[in-house]
Each structure stands twice: as structure tokens, then as C-alpha cells.
Structure 1
Amino acid sequence: MLEPDDERRGRRDLADTLKQLRKAAGLSGERLAARAAMSQSKISRIESGRSLPSVSDVERLMKALDVPPDAQQDILTVARAANVDYVSVRASARKGIWRRQAEIKALCESSKSVRHFLPAIPSGLLQTADYARAALTPVIEGNPARDIERAVRTRLDAQSVLDDESRQFHFLLTEQAVRIKRASSAVMVEQLRHLAEVSQRPNVDLAIVPSSELVGASPLNIFVVYDERLVTVEIFSGSVALRDYRDISYHLNVFDYFRERAVSENDARRLLSSVADEFMRGPD
């Protein structure tokens, strides 16, 4: 996981390496494009560093260039590192946490299918204003200050992506995610009712893994899979973006494992109603 300067250097090194391999093979950009079944413009963008090749792109290029197997492994290691982005919480705060919300909206708008794995908290796309305000307010020392109200407004604006019924949204939560008391009981009840309402949208699959279900794997991190091209993983110190097809495939397998053990539709709504009743009966 790299900070921006190291990340840019890794991508530049990958671009330079691929360009040198093409020249060493005595191939023009057009000839390499034909061999690798890519456009010449894509080859040019990759070699100039304007476009980051996926790991599968690099594999195709090395096959077209007849790169020896041991050299391939070294280059693939560089490619996989270049396809990992790390953005720290502090870097997000410096840019404005609201910008992160706008980026999430843009990613959703460029995807046909979005899968959210939510072991600890509902997605920002599912949050009410009061719940989002509580979730975005720093409470741990070292968590940087942020413009809370602007972040809340941007988070609520991002929820408009759910209105596009040509896109499918899959929200997979654990029961713990809806039970953790992030705000007053009244806010929690409102949030749970909102989840039940959103679950009835035709393009939304909202599922919950009950705490009574036997689960052999550990739900460690929040992650989102955009189509089958990108995974973003949330950790305490920031977020990681993964583009290696093997990482994407693994996270899809994780999602499917927990989804098979979850309840949805009326069963999920009954669970949400039951938890809401507990909040209503309990102390504020």
C-alpha cells in the first residue's frame, strides 16, 4: 500500500519496463497491438503512463512479447503493486471528505452491478441524514476533523444513484451492522425503517446474515465490488483499491459465501423490524 508519490513511481516504472520490452523485441507499437489484440492507442497510453494496464493486460503483452517466465513473475509483481491504490484517512480529510462521497457516486454511475459487503455499518447509500451525521463525526483521537455537514449533504446526494433501475445494487450486512448503536434510539429506529423501505426497490437486493447463522469465515472488512473490475476495501486508516482480477475474484467469492447464509426480502425486513422494536423498548 503506497502513498501517492510511491504509487506514481511504481506506475511509471511499469510503463517504462513495458516500453523497453517492446523495443528490445524490435516491435513497433502497431505490431505489438496486433499481437496482443489491443488498439495501438491503448499501447501508447500504457507506455506513456497515461493509462494503467490491468494485470491481465500485462499478461497479454508479455505473452505477445515472448517474455521468459521468470522475468514475467518480476513484472507481474510490479503490475500487481501498481494496481493497488491506498488513500489514507488524513489524505481524504485534506482533500475534503465530501470529495470521497462524490467519487463513490461516480463509481456507482459507471457500474451496472455494485456489491457492498457491510459487516459493521450500513453503506452511505443507505443512511439517513441523522445516522450519517453520527457516523461521520470523529470520536477517536487521531481521526482528522472534517466538514461534517458538507459530507452529509454529499452522501445523501450520492443516494440518487439508486433511482437508476438499470443498475443493480446488492447490500449484504451482518446483523451486527444493524445492531451497533451509532446514535440515539430514535435515530436507530428511523435508520432501520429506512433500510426496510430501500429493500423494496426493484433494483436493490438487501440481505442480512443473522447472528444465529453458523458462519465459518470471519467478516473482516467493508468492501465494495464494482462490476468485476474494481474492489475498494475500507480499513481504519483509509481505503485500498484493488484491480488485480485475482483479488476481484476472491472478493466475489467472499461475498457469495456470506450471501448464501443471509436472509433477504420479507425475512430481512422482519429482522430489521425486530431490532427496531428492541431499540424502541430499550433506554435511549
Structure 2
Amino acid sequence: MNNGTTGVDEARNALGKRLRELRVAAKLSGKGLAESLSWPGSKVSKIETGKQTPTDDDIRDWARATSAEDQAASLLAALHNLELQHAEWQRVLKAGMKSHQISLSQLDERTKLYRGFENTVVHGLMQTPEYARARFAQVVMVHKVPNDINEAVKARMQRQEMLYRPDRRFHFVITEAALRYRLVDRDIMLGQLDRLMALTSMRNIRLGIIDFKTKYVTDPRHGFWIYDDQLVQFESYSAEINLRQPSEIEFYATIFDHLAAVAKYGPDARAVLTRVIQQLAAEDDDLGS
């Protein structure tokens, strides 16, 4: 199955191929180019084969060393487009988590139909402030980014105002596993489950839950979000992936349909939530921390 990063890989490979063509046209070996730029011997090969993404300075140096300065602007444009597709968290969160939430809210504002699948966490648009705070704290710990948790939580809660707009439609699908993973304290999770219970009754929201007994048509490999038919977005540990090719968007829409088709809705979804709430509430306090 397509793993969702095909467009990113193709763009990186295409850029590497263009750079290789410039090197060959300049009659330079990979070793010769690396030596002229004081680079490690393997760097040229890694860039040309798409195993390493060049920086802006790498592009400029390459163009200069191959006497192709006139192509530097075009090459930089290709690199920046690639960066939009594969946005590393260290770069995205450099200005803080609030800034990223504001960027997402601008994307939200343009979206009429929002489809989201989650297999490990509760989606940000459905999170309680306490759950969001815990998740942002984990981001600070893992990525060592500026600690603007209070501002980020406020921005995320403001994004949720779009859930109450009658001109917006939302279809969320979440696995039962995401309701049970111990990513936050027990009391926080109980509050989050209550929030999900309330969302199942909203008219412009379809909330589907895939319980543990469900036979999947396709595997729940990773969470992803589809903005209208314009963008697919998902997260890896190191980056935010943005896919805009129509073929990839169509592919993910099909995967979403497969997952949504086996989910439970309405009273059946509330039954799953009720069962999880009752079992979590019955546990000893020390197991929920």
C-alpha cells in the first residue's frame, strides 16, 4: 500500500536528479564536487538519490560549483515546495506552538468539509483544554521547542469555535485504542471522553468509533486529516506531511471511506464511550496517572 509519502519522495528524488544533471553537465564527479565544496564524500550521493534534503546554501553552492547560477532560483523554488510538503517540526515549531495553531486556524477557515482519522490520540478539534495541555507538554519534552503551552491551548480552543458554524461539516473517525491509550492522567481522560460523548449529538459532526471487535477493511496505519479535496495532512515523529497531489488526496479519501464504513455512530458510538468511561472510572487512582 502507498505509505502516504510518495509525493514527498518523488519531489526530493526529482530535485536530486536535476542537481545530478547539473553536475554531469559540468563534467564533475561526485567526489570532485564534494571536494570542491569541502563536503563529506557521501553528501553528493545522498542528495542526488533523495536520501538527504539539501539546504538553501547547499543549492546555491551546487549551482555555483557547476556554473549554473542561472538555475539557482528555480532549484530553490523546488526545494521550498518540498519543504511545504515535508515540514520538519523543529522548523514548524521554531516560533512556538501557538504560531502553528494560528497557521492551522487559517487553514481551517478555508475548509468546508473536514475529515479526520485518528488511531492513537483524540483530534485537536475535539480536545478538552486539559487534554490539549498534556499533549503540548509532550511536544515540548520531545522536540525541545519554546514552552508557550498556555498560549497554544488558548489558540487551540479558539480553533474549536469552527465546530459550531453551520456552514462547516466534520466527519471524525477514531479507534477505541485512542480512547484507551494512557497519554494523559485518568481524570483528564475521563473529562475528554465526556467531551466526545457530547460531540456525538452535534448536528454538523459525525463522530465514528471503531471498536476492538471490528474487522478492518484496511489497516489503521496512522492518523490523517483531509481538508475538502485540497490537502491531506498527517504527522510523523519528525515532521508534518502535507500532500496536495490530486491522486494522493483521492487515495486518502478512499482509505477514509473504508475506515468510516466500519465505524459505529450515534447510539452505538455512545455505547462504546460509555463502556470505556465505566471501565476507566472503576480503576484505582494510581492506574490513571
Using structure 1 for the length normalisation, give the TM-score.
Answer: 0.69
Give the gaps of 5 or more residues in structure 1.
14-77
Contact 1:174 1:210 in 2 (8 A): yes
Q: How does 1:82-101 map to 2 (within 5 A)?
A: 85-101=85-101
Q: 1:92, CA displacement in angstroms?
A: 2.2
Q: Whole-Å Cα distance in 1 between the matches of residues 234 and 172 of structure 2?
A: 15
Please tell me the residue identity of whatever aligns with 2:105: K
Alignment CA distance shift 1:89-1:153 (3 Å): same
Q: How does 1:214-225 map to 2 (within 5 A)?
A: 214-225=215-226
Please tell me the residue identity of whatever aligns with 1:193: D
Task: Tell me the SS of whatever aligns to 1:138.
Answer: helix
Please tell me the residue identity of whatever aligns with 1:131: Y
Q: 1:238, CA displacement in angstroms?
A: 1.7
Deviation sequence 1:86-128 (CA, Å, 0-9, x none): 1111112212111221222221211110001111111111001
Contact 2:217 2:258 in 1 (8 A): no
Please tell me the residue identity of whatever aligns with 2:126: L
1:263 matched residue in structure 2: 264
2:283 matched residue in structure 1: 282
Q: How does 1:46-195 map to 2 (within 5 A)?
A: 85-138=85-138, 142-145=142-145, 146-195=147-196
1:50 matched residue in structure 2: none
Task: Tell me the SS of whatever aligns to 1:218.
Answer: coil
Task: Tell me the SS of whatever aligns to 1:181.
Answer: coil
Please tell me the residue identity of whatever aligns with 1:200: S
Please tell me the residue identity of whatever aligns with 1:282: E
Q: Whole-Å Cα distance in 2 between the matches of residues 152 and 86 of structure 1?
A: 25
Q: Whole-Å Cα distance in 1 between the matches of residues 224 and 112 of structure 2?
A: 17
Task: Tell me the SS of whatever aligns to 1:193.
Answer: helix
Q: Whole-Å Cα distance in 2 between the matches of residues 248 and 269 of structure 1?
A: 30
Contact 1:84 1:242 in 2 (8 A): no
Q: How does 1:193-212 map to 2 (within 5 A)?
A: 193-212=194-213
Alignment CA distance shift 1:276-1:166 (3 Å): same
Q: 1:139, CA displacement in angstroms?
A: 7.1
Q: Whole-Å Cα distance in 1 between the matches of residues 116 and 203 of structure 2?
A: 17
Task: Tell me the SS of whatever aligns to 1:178.
Answer: helix
Please tell me the root mean square deviation across aligned C-alpha atoms, in Å: 2.7
Deviation sequence 1:195-238 (CA, Å, 0-9, x none): 11012111000001111111142212211101111111111112
2:238 matched residue in structure 1: 237
Q: How does 1:20-39 map to 2 (within 5 A)?
A: none
Please tell me the residue identity of whatever aligns with 2:250: S
Structure 1, 181-190 or 169-178: larger mean CA deviation:
181-190
Deviation sequence 1:159-217 (CA, Å, 0-9, x none): 00111111101111011111112222211111001011012111000001111111142
**Number of matched pairs:** 214
Q: Whole-Å Cα distance in 2 between the matches of residues 165 and 83 of structure 1?
A: 34
Task: Tell me the SS of whatever aligns to 1:183.
Answer: coil
Task: Tell me the SS of whatever aligns to 1:182.
Answer: coil
Task: Tell me the SS of whatever aligns to 2:152.
Answer: helix
Alignment CA distance shift 1:170-1:189 (3 Å): same
Q: Whole-Å Cα distance in 2 between the matches of residues 175 and 270 of structure 1?
A: 12
Alignment CA distance shift 1:139-1:248 (3 Å): closer
Q: Whole-Å Cα distance in 2 between the matches of residues 138 and 85 of structure 1?
A: 24
Task: Tell me the SS of whatever aligns to 1:122.
Answer: coil
Q: Whole-Å Cα distance in 1 between the matches of residues 274 and 99 of structure 2?
A: 34
Give the gaps of 5 or more residues in structure 2.
19-77
Using structure 2 for the length normalisation, give the TM-score.
Answer: 0.68
Contact 2:133 2:150 in 1 (8 A): yes
Contact 1:83 1:242 in 2 (8 A): no
Task: Tell me the SS of whatever aligns to 1:215.
Answer: coil
Please tell me the residue identity of whatever aligns with 1:252: A
Q: Whole-Å Cα distance in 2 between the matches of residues 269 and 133 of structure 1?
A: 25
Contact 1:89 1:144 in 2 (8 A): no
Instruction: Flag as ranges the 4+ runs of structure 1 deviating above 3 A.
Output: 81-84, 139-142
